[in-house]
A = this chain, B = another copy of it.
Amino acid sequence: MRGLMTDFAATKAMFDLPQGVLYLDGNSLGPLPRAAAARVQQAVTDEWGQLLITGWNKAGWMAQPSELGDRIGRLIGAEPGHVVTGDTLSIKVYQAVASALELTPGRKVVLSDNGNFPTDLYMVEGLLRSMGPDYELRVVAPEAVEAAITDEIAVLMLTEVDYRTGRKHDMAALTARAHAAGALTVWDLAHSAGALPVDLAGCDADFAVGCTYKYLNGGPGAPAFIYVAPRHADQVRPALSGWLGHQAPFAFDLDYRPGAGIERMRVGTPPVIQMAALSAALDVWDMADMADVRAKSIELTELFIAGVEAACPDLELASPRDPAQRGSQVSFRFAEGYAAMQALIARGVIGDFRAPDIMRFGFTPLFIDAGDVKAAVAIIADVMQNRLWDNPEYKTRARVT
């Protein structure tokens, strides 16, 4: 491994983690960057409170969706000026697929896999229903995707990293295969952005979407992002054609004229207070090199897998064993996984559970180090070896997240 340039001790100090918590759930909701609280307070008190309506200009609120987009773009290999933030990931999936379908006239099939996060499938199901009975969402097993890319396919929509197992698709190869078949691609980077290097431009990706509240640490309900390749950016006519994507929103024209490039993917009024938190979160990312993050992530996940497998024979690895085949999370299957996760949370190891039997742990080098991993492994070993999960209280808890 080459020498790391990222100072992970410094980035760790930029987070405010509760005492006694080993937070292995930054892949679900990233923790609070210390600077975010002050940055949000500034947005609320100084900007909203004092500038009032003039904040749109004077505090730069109107420009933030694109500025934040560019800062995210650096982490995912996007060309500058081709990422914008806003809305939720579900909405951005809808926008991307609707746009991709418009660029592939005559084709009616969206291909995805059954490892995709359900909302992506739901949103496309709703989109295609409104487009008429000729359209089809075709869902195959992840390993069957490549063979299913035929010349019927309009859009290949995949989440690069599986939310349950961490299994990683080959973005470059599948994009090339899709293009060879005349299809376009929509990549969901929910479990990729900030988790591993992504090279959208290098892979020739067409559209990408993602959220910012996981690895990017933008806070609960932080806005999503969307990428449109330069060759498409001035071609697509957005289905969700909101006023802030208009060429001149404040001309209040009655007819929609799409804005320049990625700006047309904006829809409504951006969430200024959430953007303030996200901005502080991206300050931490400005100190990180994605290659370093990936190297450290692999070191941590390998340490975790070795430790858990040595101590807990009842836990079956659900993630690919080859680190090159997985994202920055590790999942184990265990029939009583829900109760076991509750037992871990009660002991300060926070991961999460995904039905039916997945115990999921995220590795986020910006604030998790090898010492944390070893401490977490010791607690997992205690819970499993002493059957601490076998407690009615852990089994009956309401399942919300």
Instruction: Contact check, B29 vs A49: say whether CB atoms are below 8 A apart.
Output: no
Q: Which of A1-49 contact B (CB under 8 A)?
A: 16, 18, 21, 23, 25, 28-29, 31-32, 36-37, 40-41, 44-45, 47-49
Instruction: Contact check, B40 vs A52: say whether CB atoms are below 8 A apart.
Output: no
* Across-interface contacts of A275 in B (CB, < 8 A): 221
Instruction: Contact check, B53 vs A241: say whether CB atoms are below 8 A apart.
Output: no
Instruction: Contact check, A88 vs B23: say whether CB atoms are below 8 A apart.
Output: no
Instruction: Contact check, B242 vs A274: say whether CB atoms are below 8 A apart.
Output: no
Instruction: Contact check, A269 vs B211: say whether CB atoms are below 8 A apart.
Output: yes
In the complex, which of the residues B40, B122, B350, B401 contacts A57, with contact meaning CB atoms closer than 8 Å? B401
C-alpha gap A253/B123 in the complex (Å): 13
Binds B, one of A192-200, A243-251, A289-297, A372-380: A243-251
Instruction: Contact check, B29 vs A254: say whether CB atoms are below 8 A apart.
Output: no
Instruction: Contact check, B114 vs A254: say whether CB atoms are below 8 A apart.
Output: yes
C-alpha gap A49/B14 in the complex (Å): 12
Instruction: Contact check, A57 vs B398: say whether CB atoms are below 8 A apart.
Output: yes
- In the complex, whether A298 has a CB less than 8 A from a CB of chain B is no
* Across-interface contacts of A253 in B (CB, < 8 A): 118
* Across-interface contacts of A139 in B (CB, < 8 A): 254
Instruction: Contact check, B91 vs A87: say whether CB atoms are below 8 A apart.
Output: yes
A98 to B: closest C-beta gap in Å: 6
* Across-interface contacts of A256 in B (CB, < 8 A): 118, 121-122, 125-126
A55 to B: closest C-beta gap in Å: 6
Instruction: Contact check, A123 vs B219: say whether CB atoms are below 8 A apart.
Output: no
C-alpha gap A50/B122 in the complex (Å): 32
Q: How many copies of the shown chain assemble into the complex?
A: 2
* Across-interface contacts of A254 in B (CB, < 8 A): 114, 118, 121, 139
* Across-interface contacts of A268 in B (CB, < 8 A): 87-91, 119, 224
Instruction: Contact check, A132 vs B129: say whether CB atoms are below 8 A apart.
Output: no
A358 to B: closest C-beta gap in Å: 10
Instruction: Contact check, B44 vs A219: say whether CB atoms are below 8 A apart.
Output: yes
Contact with B along A368-386 (1 / 0, CB 8 A): 0000000000000000000
In the complex, which of the residues B41, B239, B352 contacts A37, with contact meaning CB atoms closer than 8 Å? B41
A174 to B: closest C-beta gap in Å: 20
* Across-interface contacts of A53 in B (CB, < 8 A): 25, 28-29, 350, 352, 401
In the complex, which of the residues B125, B240, B246, B273 contacts A277, with contact meaning CB atoms closer than 8 Å? B273
- In the complex, whether A215 has a CB less than 8 A from a CB of chain B is no
Selected A-B contacts with CB under 8 Å, 13 pairs: A25-B52, A29-B48, A32-B48, A36-B44, A37-B41, A37-B44, A54-B350, A118-B252, A119-B243, A122-B242, A125-B241, A221-B269, A221-B275
